[in-house]
Amino acid sequence: MASVSAAESLQEEVAQQKALLRDLQNQKADAALIEEAKKKLADLQKSFGLLQSAMKAGGSTKKGRLLLKTPKGTRDYGPSEMHCREFIERTVKDCFTTYGGGCLDTPVFERKDILAGKYGEDAKLIFDLMDQGGEQLALRYDHTVPLARYLAMNGAQATQAKLWQVGKVYRRDNPVISKGRMREFSQADFDIAGIWDVMIPDAELISLLCTILSKLDVGEFTVKINHRKILDGIFEVCGVPADKIRTISSAVDKLDKSPWSEVKHEMTETKGLDPAVADRIGEYVKHKGGPELLETLKADAALMANPSAKAGIEEMAILFGYLKSYKPKKKAKKAQTGQDEEDEEIDESTVGVGSIAAGGRYDNLVGMFTAAAAGESKKAAQLPCVGVSIGLDRVFAIVWPRWVSKGMRSKETMAYVMSAGDGLLNERVELAQELRANGIKVSGTWFSLCSAALANSRGQTDFLFKAKPKLPAQFAAGERDEVPFAIILGETELKEGLVTVKEQYWELVDGKKQKIESADKGVKVKRADLVQWLKDRPIMKDWDSGRFL
């Protein structure tokens, strides 16, 4: 039994890995990535083969083999990948604090009744915990509902909050690993609560999003902005019956992925909309553009006669006005999208992997919680909110292949202490500890774009955990981490107060990392001056300026 389900599980993994490989090949991804994917596929197929022959041999194995894998739709991130992910996370967090946000951390699971009724038909994707006596719990689906629960619980203190959250959320969705769509994934949210003047928080969030995406260097991106009031106005003007507005709105949402003909078919055939009405909608949703599109809409007398559309268009003009002061890096394009819980405005950024960020208003959610907690008879105060959420796995899916192709280092270790003599373990330990404790102060442009996120300490030092290691083994260990300074201790030299330092660095030559080193046997440096000497080396300064990132 156990091994049958193991075999099924493994078969599925093989299929997934095949799909990933196909995707990578179609995308003409980096050769190293494709190699890695091929290797993993071969490993999986080998395991599957072994398992099948084992099952055949024994009819079915008596004792199922343990299947060594992470759960479906999840994965481990090893040191090289985490080096990149930590960079992404720190960059995002730094932007969040720069924009005046405070951090919030909520539990990874919530009481089931907190999540209930918030996600429409997607509720089936919620991971429930087993009822083990006590509360009914489920893993959080996003950061928005936990935040709203927190705001409802701490209403009085949080009426004017800028809060950010970075953490994992969970959905029992069909994973597409190559696109960064996982069952466990990391989201970075920034939310603004409170009653503020119209469009100011919205502009702040769009600016924040553009700043982050630019700093992360995800490449070209488009921020699509929608105003629910305009969309509602369009539907009214086109003659959509009131009871169909919601369902037609969700059809329009699909325009991002499907052509108009399909969307129209859904409207008229599946949802019973009059084809003439659908055609009128078709005219409006064809529009695409920036602030200049507002002029086209303003010239549309029928639309401007509709109070909702008029208000929406005026507010959008205010937003574009503010965005000029923010000087966002990219021009914003207008488009219509929408989500169940959000009711005024959605912005969404799309890149090769699909959209990597989305956001919008949820003006009623906190009030819903407050009212439900107070009992049905009471009216609770509303707390309007607007927020944006960045999918960190999708960002990683864009940034990581670039790191690989640039040959980025995967570790920060700066010095590797070795001995040429008789072990000298105590001497190696003492020097490693001295370097670690002293660190090396950053003298350069630590606030520069990239290095800020990683410029934490420069004392990273390692040595081999052997009492009497051979020199080549020590060099090999240091080279594995591409450590720029090999510091070699020798008995005679130490008595003279000297150590030998050999500088080395790696460059990508024809897609392969190649070590560049000086022809000499290294430089002799006074042991007492070593910390300062290291600080003054160009390699150390280069690192500070982001060169080794």
d(CA 482, CA 504): 8
d(CA 28, CA 22): 10
CB of 407 vs a copy of itself, minimal distance in Å: 17
Q: Which of 71, 95, 92 is nearest to 5 (CA)?
A: 71
CB of 143 vs a copy of itself, minimal distance in Å: 12
* Member of 330, 402, 411, 541 binding a copy of itself (CB under 8 A): 411
If one asks whether residue 61 binds a copy of itself (CB under 8 A), the answer comes out as yes
CB of 535 vs a copy of itself, minimal distance in Å: 11
Sole window of 227-235, 286-294, 433-441, 496-504 interacting with a copy of itself (rule: CB under 8 A) = 433-441
Residue 112, CA atoms < 13 Å, CB-side half-sphere: 14
Q: How many other C-beta atoms are found inside a 10 Å radius of the C-beta of residue 111?
A: 13
SS (H, E, C) 289-347: ECHHHHHHHHCCHHHHCCHHHHHHHHHHHHHHHHHHHHCCCCCCEECCCCCCCCCCEEE
If one asks whether residue 48 binds a copy of itself (CB under 8 A), the answer comes out as no
> Which residues, including other chains, have CB under 8 Å from residue 292's CB and lie 6 or more apart?
none
Burial class from Cβ neighbours inside 10 Å (0-12, 13-18, 19+) for residue 172 reads: middle
If one asks whether residue 85 binds a copy of itself (CB under 8 A), the answer comes out as yes
If one asks whether residue 102 binds a copy of itself (CB under 8 A), the answer comes out as yes
* Member of 38, 65, 280, 537 binding a copy of itself (CB under 8 A): 65
* Member of 30, 110, 189, 315 binding a copy of itself (CB under 8 A): 110
Q: Are 151 and 383 in contact (CB under 8 A)?
A: yes
The tokens of 249 are what? 């709105």
If one asks whether residue 94 binds a copy of itself (CB under 8 A), the answer comes out as yes
> Which residues, including other chains, have CB under 8 Å from residue 166's CB and lie 6 or more apart?
89, 92, 93, 103, 186, 187, 188, 189, 392
Identify which of residues 268 and 456 has a Cβ nearer to a copy of itself in the complex: 456
Identify which of residues 139 and 418 has a Cβ nearer to a copy of itself in the complex: 139
If one asks whether residue 76 binds a copy of itself (CB under 8 A), the answer comes out as yes
Q: Are 489 and 424 in contact (CB under 8 A)?
A: yes
Sole window of 110-118, 271-279, 281-289, 487-495 interacting with a copy of itself (rule: CB under 8 A) = 110-118
> Which residues, including other chains, have CB under 8 Å from residue 457's CB and lie 6 or more apart?
439
**How far from each other are the two terminal CA atoms of the chain, in whole angstroms?**
49
DSSP for residue 381: P
CB of 358 vs a copy of itself, minimal distance in Å: 21
Q: Which of 29, 7, 26, 28 is nearest to 402 (CA)?
A: 29
d(CA 428, CA 527): 12
Sole window of 266-274, 288-296, 316-324, 338-346 interacting with a copy of itself (rule: CB under 8 A) = 316-324
Sole window of 24-32, 266-274, 427-435, 492-500 interacting with a copy of itself (rule: CB under 8 A) = 427-435
Identify which of residues 206 and 231 has a Cβ nearer to a copy of itself in the complex: 206
If one asks whether residue 214 binds a copy of itself (CB under 8 A), the answer comes out as no
Q: Which residue has 């539990």 as its token pair? A: 107
* Member of 20, 88, 163, 210 binding a copy of itself (CB under 8 A): 163
Sole window of 30-38, 82-90, 244-252, 504-512 interacting with a copy of itself (rule: CB under 8 A) = 82-90
Identify which of residues 107 and 511 has a Cβ nearer to a copy of itself in the complex: 107
Residues numbered 220 to 279 that lie near a copy of itself (CB under 8 A) are none
Identify which of residues 288 and 441 has a Cβ nearer to a copy of itself in the complex: 441
If one asks whether residue 283 binds a copy of itself (CB under 8 A), the answer comes out as no
Dihedral (C-alpha) 351, 355, 361, 364: value to the nearest 10 degrees?
180
* Member of 18, 69, 244, 537 binding a copy of itself (CB under 8 A): 69
If one asks whether residue 364 binds a copy of itself (CB under 8 A), the answer comes out as no
Residues numbered 365 to 394 that lie near a copy of itself (CB under 8 A) are 369, 372-376
Binding mask 472-501 toward a copy of itself (x if CB under 8 A, else -) reads: -----x---x--------------------
Q: Which helix or strand (DSSP H or E) is residue 164 part of?
A: strand 162-170
Sole window of 201-209, 253-261, 357-365, 493-501 interacting with a copy of itself (rule: CB under 8 A) = 201-209
Q: Which residue has 């909702």 as its token pair? A: 308
Dihedral angle sign, alpha carbons of residues 322, 324, 330, 332: positive
Q: Are 486 and 475 in contact (CB under 8 A)?
A: yes
d(CA 250, CA 529): 68
Residues numbered 122 to 151 that lie near a copy of itself (CB under 8 A) are 127-132, 134-135, 137, 139, 149-150
If one asks whether residue 518 binds a copy of itself (CB under 8 A), the answer comes out as no
Residues numbered 288 to 307 that lie near a copy of itself (CB under 8 A) are none
* Member of 201, 233, 360, 387 binding a copy of itself (CB under 8 A): 201
If one asks whether residue 67 binds a copy of itself (CB under 8 A), the answer comes out as yes
Identify which of residues 63 and 286 has a Cβ nearer to a copy of itself in the complex: 63
Identify which of residues 4 and 305 has a Cβ nearer to a copy of itself in the complex: 4
SS (H, E, C) 237-270: HHCCCHHHHHHHHHHHHHHHCCCHHHHHHHHHHH
Residue 398, CA atoms < 13 Å, CB-side half-sphere: 20
Identify which of residues 76 and 510 has a Cβ nearer to a copy of itself in the complex: 76
CB of 457 vs a copy of itself, minimal distance in Å: 5
d(CA 180, CA 490): 50
* Member of 31, 82, 381, 509 binding a copy of itself (CB under 8 A): 82
* Member of 27, 194, 343, 533 binding a copy of itself (CB under 8 A): 194
CB of 100 vs a copy of itself, minimal distance in Å: 3
If one asks whether residue 99 binds a copy of itself (CB under 8 A), the answer comes out as yes
